[in-house]
Amino acid sequence: MQLGEAISFFLSFDIKDIIEHEKELANYAFDALSKIKNIEIASQRGDTIILFNIKNIPPQDVASYLGNRDIYVRSGAFCAYKFKEINNFSNAYVRISLAMYNQKNDIDKLVQVLKTGGNFIEIL
Cα separation, 52 vs 42, in Å, equals: 6
Q: Which residues contact 10 (CB under 8 A, 6 or more apart)?
A: none
**CA 62 to each of CA 6, 66, 101: distance values in angstroms, whole numbers, following the listed order:** 32, 6, 23
Q: Which of 3, 79, 105, 122 is catalytic?
A: 79
Instruction: Identify whether the C-beta of residue 100 lies closer than 8 Å to the C-beta of residue 21.
Output: yes
With CA atoms as reference, report the closest residue to 54 among 69, 71, 36: 36
Length of the chain: 124
> Catalytic: 79?
yes
Instruction: Cite the active site residues.
Output: 79
